[in-house]
Amino acid sequence: MPFLGQDWRSPGQSWVKTEEGWKKTSADDKNNNVSVESFCKAEEEECFNKENLLLSLGYDMAAKKRKKDLMNNNTKVPYFHREKWIYVHKGSTKERHGYCTLGEAFNRLDFCSAIKDTRRFNYVVRLLELIAKSQLPSLSGVAQKNYMNILERVVQKVLNDQQNVRPIKELLQTLYISLCGHVQDMGKSVLVGNINIWVHRMENIMQWQQQLDNIQINRPTSTGMGLTDLPVSLQLNIMQRITDGRDLVSLGQVCPELGVLTEDRLLWKKLCQYHFTDRQIRKRLMVSDKGHLEWKKMYFKLSRCYPHREQYSDTLHFCTHCHILFWKDTNHPCTANNPESCTMSLSPQDFINLFNF
């Protein structure tokens, strides 16, 4: 397109569009054949062309933005798989190429329904915590996104039910500390995606932590019999079912009567023997001035040195015969004569180790 306006190569001259075509004219030339109307018409046409060009560019940018927003909105909608069992293949065969990864198993198994099941909730929370500590970079981008979606559902369930607040707060704290280290190593391709996405997810974690800190447990409206109305023997029997010493301490802060019962030495002795071995207990003996063993102090000291015993109402199971991973109450297509004999229960750590090959 010819240059419209003053040309730096010929000062004082300009290009004007006429009926015969574009012509170069001088501003001082009074005898030119180009009328003022044609010059104004040329400027109007040029402005019109520019406006059309800008409008077309604007429409293209708006269309691209709408398409991008649509894609973002679609990707923000969490999609949860609901497969009851999956086949875990660890190598290539004639029938199947490749192997099953931790991220693939995490995507395909039905964790969405598992977090709604009281028996499986603690199992899933522990699995999320182990993944946050060391396995998050090994997950694919889809698995990492699915991880955050499941975590969001877990937090919402705790906020609605007002139960299991402390384990989720510990999970969020572990994940936040882990992400702080991963975000600093973004140049090493530790996490999949843009750094701004992960910064936004860290902000969501901080917001969830604040919501959990501000949660207020509502007092039940039931006027029936409470824990303190039961005989002391029954109260102690109920307390012996508690497997976390911190829950016993919290229970003792409810009222002075329960506080006295939670200091029972036999209660803390059984708690120590449940989580730790005799050898571990002997290494951390603590004796009071009266010659008695300080079982409560020993419990918290042992907790800092050794892991607790993990026990879950329902876990994932693995069939060594057909190499299928499934939930306990799910029937899998096993061809063995006695499927129960070749089935083993997997702890959260065993589930992760299953894919470390």
Helix, strand, coil percentages (3-state) for the chain, rounded to 5, are 55, 10, 35
Shortest CA distance to 87 belongs to which of 356, 347, 321, 353? 321
Shared domain for 189 and 126, answered yes or no, is: yes
Shared domain for 97 and 205, answered yes or no, is: yes
Shared domain for 94 and 193, answered yes or no, is: yes
Shared domain for 209 and 270, answered yes or no, is: no
How would you write 21-87 as a 3-class SS string?
EEEEEECCCCCCCCCHHHHHHHHHHHHHHHHHHHHHHHHHHHHHHHHHHHHHHHHHCCCCCCECEEE
Query: Tokens in use for 343?
Result: 């089935």
Q: What is the DSSP letter of 113?
A: H
Shortest CA distance to 150 belongs to which of 177, 129, 178? 129
Buried b (16+ CB within 10 A) or exposed e, 75-86: eeeeeeeeeebb
Tokens 């384990």 found at: 167
Domain membership of residue 324 (yes or no) is no
Q: Kindly report the CA angle at 163 between 161 and 167, in degrees rounded to 5?
A: 135
Shared domain for 249 and 174, answered yes or no, is: no
Shared domain for 209 and 89, answered yes or no, is: yes
One digit per residue, the tens of pLDDT, for the chain of length 357 reads 454 555 455 555 677 777 777 777 765 554 444 444 454 555 555 555 555 544 454 545 555 554 454 445 444 445 455 677 888 876 656 555 556 788 888 888 888 888 888 888 999 999 999 999 988 888 888 888 899 999 999 999 999 988 889 999 999 999 999 888 887 765 555 777 777 888 888 999 999 999 999 988 777 676 677 888 889 899 899 998 888 899 999 889 888 888 999 999 999 999 999 999 999 999 888 888 888 889 999 999 999 999 888 888 888 888 888 888 888 777 777 766 666 778 888 889 998 888 876
Buried b (16+ CB within 10 A) or exposed e, 297-315: ebbeebbeeeeeeeebebb
Query: Tokens in use for 154?
Result: 């877990």
For residue 114, give its domain range. 85-214
> What single letter denotes the amino acid at residue 229?
D
Say how far apart CA 298 and CA 269 lie, in whole Å. 9
Shared domain for 164 and 276, answered yes or no, is: no
What is residue 41's predicted lDDT score, i.e. its pLDDT? 53
Shortest CA distance to 122 belongs to which of 308, 311, 304, 275? 311
Q: What is the DSSP letter of 330?
A: -
Residue pair 19/35 in contact by the 8 Å Cβ criterion: no
Partnered with residue 109 across adjacent β-strands are 83
Domain membership of residue 137 (yes or no) is yes
Q: Is 327 helix (H, G, I), strand (E, B) or coil?
A: strand
Shared domain for 166 and 97, answered yes or no, is: yes
Partnered with residue 6 across adjacent β-strands are 14
Shared domain for 107 and 195, answered yes or no, is: yes
Dihedral of the alpha carbons of 7, 9, 10, 14, in degrees to the nearest 10 = -20
Say how far apart CA 85 and CA 331 lie, in whole Å. 9
Q: Is 12 helix (H, G, I), strand (E, B) or coil?
A: strand
Shared domain for 169 and 280, answered yes or no, is: no
Tally of structural domains, the chain: 2
> What single letter denotes the amino acid at residue 133?
K
User: Residue 283, Cα to own-chain centre: how many angstroms?
Assistant: 39
